[in-house]
Amino acid sequence: MKVSVVQDILSANDQLAMQNRELFDKHDICVINLMASPGSGKTSLILRTIDALRSQLRIGVIEGDIASTVDADRVAAKSVPVVQINTGGQCHLDAPMIQRALKQLPLADLDLILIENVGNLVCPVAFGLGEDLKVMLASAPEGDDKPYKYPGIFLAVDAVVINKVDLLPYLRFDVAAFRELVRGMNPDVRLFEVSCDTGEGIEEWTAWVSQERAKRLHGS
C-alpha cells in the first residue's frame, strides 16, 4: 500500500512538471535543477554563473531551502529576479512548489532559470521539476566516495561539477578515480572542475550552460 501512495505522489508531480515544462518552452527558457549536499557551494556556483553569463543571458533564480532567506538575499544582491521557496521541512523541491514560484518570476524576460534544490543527495532526484538539465555539485572536501553512497543522483544527472578544487592539495580526493567512477556509471555525463572561490574552471562550466541553452532554442 505504501508503494502505491508514493507512486501516486510521483505521478501527480510528473503532471505538474509537464505543465512547468510547457511554460518554459513557451518562453524559450532553459532551466537547470542544481542538486547537492548542504555546504557544497550551490549558491556560490549560482552567483559565479550570474556574473559570467549575465551579459549574454537574462537569468532568474529559484532558491529552495528548508528555512531562511539567506541564499536568496545573496542572489538578490546581484539584482536578478529571485524567488525563495521555504519548504517548511520538506527535504526536496517538487513541481507544485516550482509552479507557484514561477508566478513570481518575469518569465517573458528570462532566458535561463537556475533552481537551487534543497541540500540533499537522495529524494530531489525523484521529483522532476520540468527542468532541462539536472546538475549535481560535489565538493572536494566531501570526499570522492559519493558515487558509491548515492548512485541514484550520479545516474540521473547531465553534469557533475566538482567544486572547491583549490583545496585539492590538502585533501585525499582522487579526481581521476572519481571521474572514472562517475563515467562508468553514467557515460554521457559532463564533468567540470571548478573553484567558486578562485574562479578556476568557471568559464568551462558557463560555456557549457550557454551551449545547452542555445541547443534548446534551436529545437533539438
Contacting residues toward Mg ion, per CB under 5 A: 42-43, 71
What minimum distance in Å lies between the beta carbon of 89 and Zn ion? 10
Residue 91 touches which of Zn ion, Mg ion, none (Cβ within 5-8 Å per kind): Zn ion
The item of Mg ion, Zn ion, none sharing an interface with residue 94, based on CB under 5 to 8 Å by kind, is: none
Which among Zn ion, Mg ion, none contacts residue 42 (Cβ within 5 to 8 A by kind)? Mg ion
Encoded amino acid at 70, one letter = V
Nearer to Zn ion, 29 or 35 (CB): 35
10 or 107, CB closer to Zn ion?
10
Residue 219, classified by CB atoms within 10 Å of its CB into exposed (0-12), middle (13-18) or buried (19+), is exposed
If the CB atoms of residues 48 and 92 are measured against Zn ion, the closer one turns out to be 92
CA distance 137 to 190: 12
Helix (H, G, I), strand (E, B) or coil at 93: coil
Choose among 89, 135, 139: nearest CA to 115.
135
Q: Answer yes or no: are the C-beta atoms of 90 and 127 closer than 8 Å.
A: no
Nearer to Zn ion, 81 or 124 (CB): 124
Least distance between Zn ion and beta carbon 209 (Å): 26
